[in-house]
Amino acid sequence: MANTSPILIVGAGTTGLAMACELARDGAPVRIIDKQSGINPHCRACSIHARTLEIFYDFGIVDEILAQGHKVLGMSEYANGERFMHSSGGEIDSPYPYTVNLEQCKTESALERLLRTYDIEVGA
């Protein structure tokens, strides 16, 4: 007899929401809860990296993320007026060889919308 109890995910941040989406996509019963009701409007993270964009492609939400965010095609870091690191993104082996700047609350909103397509809501 198969276990039909839902998998409990505690925490509806980006990681918890992404896990719930992946499990639901694979047909697993899921329950996701968070002590905070709603999405935190304060930006706690603002960058989405190439591998995450690949996962979002698999989820079917990468176009929404790309439309809302801003591609970072290169980056330099400085200390004491001297550049000590530069990345153009070209060294990333991915269909998305860049970082996307997007507020965490917008990323979470996209994941929550996807989760609702599986008839799953974040509970308390």
DSSP notation for 79-90? ETTEEEEEE-ST
Task: Summarize pLDDT for 55-92 with one digit per residue, the tens.
Answer: 999 999 999 999 999 999 888 899 999 999 888 767 78
pTM: 0.85
Structural contact between residues 107 and 65, judged by C-beta atoms closer than 8 angstroms: yes
The tokens for 19 are 């896990």
Q: Is 83 left (phi over 0), alpha (psi -120 to 50) or beta?
A: beta
Question: How far is residue 111's CA from residue 27's CA, in Å, rounded to a whole number?
Answer: 17
Statement: residue 1 has pLDDT above 60: no
What pLDDT is stored for residue 3 in this prediction? 63
64 backbone dihedrals φ, ψ, rounded to 5°: -65, -45
Q: Which domains does the chain have, with CATH numbers?
A: 1-41+104-124 (3.50.50.60), 47-102 (no CATH)
What pLDDT is stored for residue 92 in this prediction? 83
